[in-house]
Structure 1
Amino acid sequence: MAEDQSHKLSAVLDQLESAAHGDSITVQEVVRKLGQKSFASLILIFTLVSTSPASAIPGLTAAVAVIVFILMLQMIAGRNCVWLPQFILRRELPTDKLCKGIGWLRKPVGFVERFLKERLTWLLHRPWLYLPQVLILGLTLFMPFMEVIPTSGSIASAVIALFAAGLLTRDGGLVALSLILLLAVPVAVWQFGFSG
């Protein structure tokens, strides 16, 4: 069972890759492929893309920040079905860059999957879940500005991806790790971008 849970990450990449066709894919097609109720899968896939070479797409970090902010608000509110505004759903991603990003992600995702298992599941429920969710909301507000600091947006996206992966695989240990990193990211970005 734990092995099946851990491989959900690769399964999400497989689903996205199978949806990629033609010259571009819309956000609406991604949502339709991953499912209207798959908050964790959607957050995972968009933040993973934002950590890959596909993050070179202009404005992608800002778009991912907006998407994650909206999805996280809905998770906190207890919604069962994903809603995104039409201007986001119509946004297109080039499939060549997207597929290149997916290919790049397979090795690190495969590595992480080896350590995932169902544990500390009490951290996946309220009230414990509120703290990382609120921190992610705050982080997404700053992500559009992180584009001026090289790699900082990708680091923020990677931390949020860890949280989503923990939810998806029911690994409370990964959620706890993401919480620690969420607290550390603002300090690290500030030191890297503005010190000295």
Structure 2
Amino acid sequence: MTRQADQRLSEVLETLETSLDGDRVSVEHIVETLGAKSFPALILIFSLIAVSPASAIPGVTTLVAVTVFLLAVQMMAHRDRVWLPQIITRQEISRAMLSKGLRAVRRPTAKVEGLLKARLTFLCRRPWIWLPLSLIAVLTLFMPFMELVPASGSIAAAAIALCAAGLLTRDGLLVILSALLLAVVPVAVYLGFSG
């Protein structure tokens, strides 16, 4: 993990929000704004998109799932820089929707980040980091199907966002708690879907 993992959550949100321009925002713009080496920050932002009002747009949850899957796998592989195929980087979402989503999460984020601190940091390093990243990757495989179940994709994305927040702030306790959620969400959604 790089020292970029010491970023505050509010800084990540503010950096992206102040960079928005035009009516549409591309995936490429988000990557370039946050930095092609900021894997946890990118996972956080894309998962928050799936939690935001933008998730109501058909296909957004699937786009987020594919993007986060690629980010998690590359982070496990210890890549220095993010690589995403052009078919993903060219995708765009509404600036208004993204801005609304960022504003919606800024207040709770400000409250939560006061509780976060660097602890149990070994869980944010190899090989321990492979466990939460593997759970994230597995959960993203379920997310496209979760679009069929209202709000389930957003719940999954929220669990991923918590884990990314833990990695970003090197808070191993949050990583543990979110890993438990990551493991439980697919089971809960399956039971809800089959019931």
Tell me the TM-score normalised to structure 1 length. 0.93
Distance in 2, matches of 1:69 and 1:19, equals 25
Q: Report the AA paired with residue 129 of structure 1.
A: I
Distance in 1, matches of 2:181 and 2:78, equals 25
Which residue number in structure 1 is paired with residue 117 of structure 2?
117
Distance in 2, matches of 1:171 and 1:93, equals 31
Which residue number in structure 2 is paired with residue 28 of structure 1?
28
Change (3 A) 1:191 1:6: farther
The Cα RMSD (Å) is 1.3
Shift of residue 128 of structure 1? 1.4
Gaps of 5+ in 2: none
Q: Report the AA paired with residue 18 of structure 1.
A: T
Q: Report the AA paired with residue 145 of structure 1.
A: F
Which residue number in structure 2 is paired with residue 176 of structure 1?
176
Structure 1 position 87 matched with structure 2 position 126: no
State the SS of the aligned residue for 2:112.
Answer: helix
**Please, which moves more after superposition, 120-129 or 31-40?**
120-129
State the SS of the aligned residue for 1:84.
Answer: coil
Q: Report the AA paired with residue 33 of structure 2.
A: K
Which residue number in structure 2 is paired with residue 76 of structure 1?
76
Distance in 1, matches of 2:136 and 2:22, equals 33
Which residue number in structure 2 is paired with residue 14 of structure 1?
14
Gaps of 5+ in 1: none
Distance in 2, matches of 1:141 and 1:167, equals 21
Shift of residue 7 of structure 1? 6.8
State the SS of the aligned residue for 1:93.
Answer: strand
Structure 1 position 63 matched with structure 2 position 40: no
State the SS of the aligned residue for 1:25.
Answer: strand
Deviation track 1:12-70 (CA, whole Å, cap 9, x = no partner) reads 11111112111111111111100010101100001011111121122110000000111
Shift of residue 83 of structure 1? 0.5
How many residues are matched? 191
**Please, which moves more after superposition, 61-70 or 118-127?**
118-127
Tell me the TM-score normalised to structure 2 length. 0.94
Deviation track 1:62-115 (CA, whole Å, cap 9, x = no partner) reads 000000111111111110100000011111111011111111111221221121
State the SS of the aligned residue for 1:148.
Answer: coil
Which residue number in structure 2 is paired with residue 152 of structure 1?
152
Q: Is contact 2:67–2:84 with CA below 8 Å preserved after alignment?
A: yes
Which residue number in structure 1 is paired with residue 37 of structure 2?
37
Which residue number in structure 2 is paired with residue 143 of structure 1?
143
Q: Is contact 1:149–1:193 with CA below 8 Å preserved after alignment?
A: yes
